[in-house]
Homo-oligomer: A and B are copies of this chain.
Amino acid sequence: MKPHGAWVLTIGDELLRGEIVDSNKSFLSQQLLELDLHTGRHVTVADHAEEISTQLRAAAQHVRVLLISGGLGPTRDDITTEVVAATFGRPLVRDPGAVEAIKRYFDRLGREMSENNAKQADFPEGAEVLPNPNGTAPGFMLDVEDTLIFCMPGVPAELYPMMQEQVMPRISQKLGISDGGIVRAQLLRTFGFGESVLDRDLADLSRDDGSVELGFRVQFPDNLLRVIARGADEAQAERRLQSTLVELRKRLGPAIVAESEERMEAVLGRMLLEQKRTVAVAESCTGGLVGHLLTEVSGSSAYFLEGIAVYSNAAKMRELAVPSDLLEQHGAVSEPVAEQMARGVRERTGADYGIATTGVAGPGGGTDDKPVGTLCLGFSSAERAEARTYRMLADRARNKQLAAHIALDSLRRELLGLGLPDETFPRATKLPEKA
């Protein structure tokens, strides 16, 4: 039988010691699904020649595609390339282009390339090199015995772009999936509904015959929703995809942050640029996270004027003109204080919008009245200032993330011409009734 399907092999002693949770495998399998390729097996082995070789030989018998991550580094432990070469009887050949690329990488660091690193430019004869602009370890593709073998680095920041930009197109092309046109997929980033709510209230959109499938993936605090549509031809698959998207837009409304993987801060940044607006933030419980997220986007200096992390009451008074009687009367975690913080930061910086967070991230600091997870969000623009209270139900780190995303979302909704999200948000237990 001709091989079909795919396996994913990750290599590294640290994985087998359990020091790392291996998320590369789930990423790689998700990617393969976009090409309608199902993963039949995940395997992890140590940096051990015989173990690796056993898996390589089994894969060459059973599957059409083998994705490998790990073991391409410069250290003595890293033996993936030489084991692939030896298993399939290919000599190792040094690739001059790859040597140059690694040298350039070190030049930029102002460092000499070591002999260890030169080893990373050796590939099995006949392999196609996959350049790695994000690190020293290039990957490679080897086509053996009807099986496509892709070797990629284990570091996610290097693996992810290599898979998406270089491996996916090669699989499409080699397997002739690219012009099959039978699968159309679309990813949606959503914010504001839990995975179980989405799963339950959108279940009717999946079709038993597999012509439309919905998949969910949590990327806290967002939920990624993947729609896969299949058809006899491209037009049919596309029609099914589009009609499902129409229904999803109706049901989810502004909870759809992007019809892609694009993050909230990037979507918001684009909107601010387009509308030529600026923002300043006053952060208490988020401590700088809103500013950090905004500045994850290159070019954010065009719209992010200033962030102030005011942890103490003194700082709130000094920096944001929050009156002391407001703090005394309502407490630092209160809507009047949040509103004044937003107003204060907007006025002091001259930004179009002021956003403020004050809350109880936990685990300490909660009271009966204002339990851990309370967030008061302040919002201010030329037209109005207002505040609203939300409740979050997670640990400190995730409460901060959630609070910062609610802050960003409030501005995104403003720019969409909507108001602040409802106070049940982001805990809504049900989607709005279908239209």
A388 touches B (CB below 8 Å): no
A298 touches B (CB below 8 Å): yes
Q: Which residues of B contact A46 (CB under 8 A)?
A: 40
A17 touches B215 (CB 8 A): yes
A367 touches B (CB below 8 Å): no
B310 touches A19 (CB 8 A): no
C-alpha spacing A286/B307, complex, angstroms? 11
Q: Which residues of B contact A87 (CB under 8 A)?
A: none
**One of B27, B199, B315 near A306 (C-beta < 8 A):** B315
**One of B44, B300, B310 near A25 (C-beta < 8 A):** B44
C-alpha spacing A342/B155, complex, angstroms? 35
Interface pick from A268-276, A394-402, A408-416: A394-402
**One of B20, B33, B108, B364 near A18 (C-beta < 8 A):** B33
A306 touches B311 (CB 8 A): yes
Q: How far is the CB of A407 from chain B (nearest CB, A)?
A: 12
A22 touches B (CB below 8 Å): yes
State which residues 176-228 of A face B: CB under 8 Å. 195-196, 199-200, 203, 215-218, 220, 224, 226
B196 touches A74 (CB 8 A): yes
Q: Which residue of B lies closest to A220 (CB)?
A: B157
B292 touches A306 (CB 8 A): no
A138 touches B (CB below 8 Å): no
Q: Which residues of B contact A111 (CB under 8 A)?
A: 427, 429
B307 touches A288 (CB 8 A): yes
A295 touches B400 (CB 8 A): yes
Q: Which residues of B contact A76 (CB under 8 A)?
A: 199, 203
B312 touches A301 (CB 8 A): yes
A239 touches B (CB below 8 Å): no
A296 touches B215 (CB 8 A): no
B364 touches A299 (CB 8 A): yes
A51 touches B45 (CB 8 A): no
A27 touches B16 (CB 8 A): no
C-alpha spacing A124/B15, complex, angstroms? 31
State which residues 1-50 of A face B: CB under 8 Å. 13-23, 25-33, 38-46
A295 touches B309 (CB 8 A): yes
State which residues 94-122 of A face B: CB under 8 Å. 105, 108-112, 114, 116
**One of B39, B283, B364 near A291 (C-beta < 8 A):** B283
Q: How far is the CB of A65 from chain B (nearest CB, A)?
A: 13
Q: Which residue of B lies closest to A350 (CB)?
A: B314
A349 touches B (CB below 8 Å): yes
B14 touches A217 (CB 8 A): yes
C-alpha spacing A116/B286, complex, angstroms? 33
Q: Which residues of B contact A23 (CB under 8 A)?
A: 21
Q: How far is the CB of A238 from chain B (nearest CB, A)?
A: 20
Asked, given contacts A40-B46, A43-B41, A301-B311, whether A116 binds B196 with beta carbons under 8 Å apart, the answer is yes
Q: Which residues of B contact A215 (CB under 8 A)?
A: 13-14, 17, 19
A75 touches B (CB below 8 Å): yes
Q: Which residues of B contact A306 (CB under 8 A)?
A: 308-312, 315, 319
B44 touches A41 (CB 8 A): yes
The 5 closest A-B pairs by CB, nearest first: A288-B291, A287-B295, A18-B29, A288-B288, A307-B309
23 contacts between A and B (CB under 8 A): A13-B215, A14-B215, A14-B217, A17-B29, A17-B226, A18-B30, A18-B31, A20-B26, A40-B51, A41-B45, A42-B44, A74-B196, A109-B391, A110-B427, A157-B397, A281-B309, A287-B307, A288-B291, A288-B293, A289-B295, A300-B311, A306-B310, A306-B312
